[in-house]
Amino acid sequence: MKAVLDHIGIAVKDLAAALAFYRDALGLEIEAPEEVASQHVRAHFVPVGESKLELLEATSPESAIAKYVEKRGPGLHHITLRVEDVRAAIALLKARGARLIDEVPREGAEGSLIAFVHPAATHGVLVELKQSTVDSRQSRALSTVDCRLSTVTRYTLGDLELISVCDGFVRFDGGAMFGVVPKALWEKQAPADARNRIRLAMRPLVIRGLRTMIVDAGLGDKENDKFCDIYGVERTRNLDHTLAEAGLAPEDIDIVLASHLHFDHAGGFTMRGSDGRLRPRFPRAQYVVRRGEWEDATHPHARNRASYLLDNYVPLADAGVLQLVDDDLTIMPGVKVRRTGGHTMHHQMIVIESGGKTAAFVADLMPTAAHAPDPWVMGFDLYPMDTLAAKNRFAREAMEKGTLVFFEHDPAIAAGYIREIDGKRSIQPA
């Protein structure tokens, strides 16, 4: 989470005396006071560089500031950290076990949204989180331009609700993403940056039916700066934000299902707690992983080692929340796994059926819409001919059934339908 010091609140008993110091002695500018009637307080902001001081004067004996001054005398009252999305910040802190005063944000000064964290969690300092609505509107406008379709998209399939969420973007080498396809062809579909990388989304899928499931969970936030530079990680808007936007908290997830355990799919399975220890990111969930994939991921070799980071999944076994499945089974009503192989020996896709309709989350079988044609197979794949065969089989079936296909890595298209005209396969966005 990115947080910037917005201001420091100081409870004042005698405003004239306080002004004699801050205004007259220090020579600072004092802004026009702002009355916060609901709190019985008058706030005088004092700009000091990037942040401000806030002199807080009670306007009634019932004011929390009056009570504070009476009990402890004047002095430091709170610090305020500005965050991009206060709801996402609340969800994240809750997930990390921090005690909050406000679990739902309330309105603060100048139309901002605020929430207080309990001093028990902050080592004795009252911390206010603030989302200034102007900032967030601007940043939302920016992120729509910059991260097209990074927002939540909802679909209904019979009795199930399918919600495509997003954990931000990474950049992988364009050559590795398209295998034997020449750059002259792939760069028309996916422009490369100066380091030959192309931009890819990470879009887990939430399935809500009898239970709430998430398939894959993006990269998460455990990686260091060097990693984030190599893979061009952009996570200013990430799974915390998009889950919150979908009205979900991490504790609402009952089942986490893995397509496979590469870091761009399983990184968000675990997180580092405030005590520095790794733990499951979804506190109530059972994590379902294919046994063969688990074996491969826990015994990596030279060719796949860079993709398998043990911190992403070993803590799940330690926490006793891991369920290994051996076959193509139904994981919850309407949701089945199907092994595709190819990308990894035990890579699986997820087939969703309800009310006579079909959808599929194909993960790295067809990571983007550009990978629709059979020979457009990733260089990353361990068994490319198996990918080709599995993709051909799936594409025919999907066209026959009108399957809604979810693309986990496409930077712009969350879901679409496979079409083939004159032997040329393409995707029609949903």
Instruction: Name the site residues for Zn ion (rule: CB under 5 A).
Output: 262, 264, 364
**Pick 78 or 265: Cβ nearer Zn ion:** 265
Contact 358, 351 (CB under 8 A): yes
Question: Nearest approach, Cβ of 288 to Zn ion (angstroms)?
Answer: 17
**Pick 78 or 347: Cβ nearer Zn ion:** 347
Question: Nearest approach, Cβ of 240 to Zn ion (angstroms)?
Answer: 20
**Pick 181 or 244: Cβ nearer Zn ion:** 181
User: Which residue type sits at 14?
Assistant: D
Question: Nearest approach, Cβ of 173 to Zn ion (angstroms)?
Answer: 13
**Pick 57 or 410: Cβ nearer Zn ion:** 410
Q: Of how many residues is the chain composed?
A: 430
The radius of gyration computed from the CA coordinates of the chain, to the nearest angstrom, equals 25
- 20 vs 24: CA distance, rounded Å: 5
**Pick 221 or 353: Cβ nearer Zn ion:** 221
Question: Nearest approach, Cβ of 219 to Zn ion (angstroms)?
Answer: 10
Q: Which residue is nearest to Zn ion (CB)?
A: 262
Question: Nearest approach, Cβ of 126 to Zn ion (angstroms)?
Answer: 43
**Pick 9 or 168: Cβ nearer Zn ion:** 168
Strands 255-257 and 34-36: unpaired
Contact 129, 1 (CB under 8 A): no
44: helix, strand or coil: strand
- 51 vs 81: CA distance, rounded Å: 10
Contacts with 225 (C-beta within 8 Å, 6 or more apart), sequence order? none
- 305 vs 151: CA distance, rounded Å: 32
Contact 208, 163 (CB under 8 A): yes
User: Which residue type sits at 369?
Assistant: A
Question: Nearest approach, Cβ of 259 to Zn ion (angstroms)?
Answer: 8
**Pick 171 or 262: Cβ nearer Zn ion:** 262
Question: Nearest approach, Cβ of 376 to Zn ion (angstroms)?
Answer: 15
Kindly report the three-state secondary structure assignment for every residue of 50-98. CEEEEEEEECCCCCHHHHHHHHHCCEEEEEEEEECCHHHHHHHHHHCCC
User: Which residue type sits at 158?
Assistant: G
- 92 vs 110: CA distance, rounded Å: 25
Question: Nearest approach, Cβ of 301 to Zn ion (angstroms)?
Answer: 15
**Pick 130 or 262: Cβ nearer Zn ion:** 262
**Pick 85 or 264: Cβ nearer Zn ion:** 264
Question: Nearest approach, Cβ of 113 to Zn ion (angstroms)?
Answer: 35
- 322 vs 257: CA distance, rounded Å: 10
- 393 vs 58: CA distance, rounded Å: 71
Residue 387 host element (H or E): helix 384-401
**Pick 113 or 309: Cβ nearer Zn ion:** 309
**Pick 263 or 287: Cβ nearer Zn ion:** 263
Question: Nearest approach, Cβ of 315 to Zn ion (angstroms)?
Answer: 20
| Adjacency order of strands within the sheet including 330-332 | 330-332, 335-339, 348-354, 357-361, 404-406, 415-421, 424-429
Question: Nearest approach, Cβ of 186 to Zn ion (angstroms)?
Answer: 16
165: helix, strand or coil: coil
Take residue 215 and report the two structure tokens written for it: 């398939």
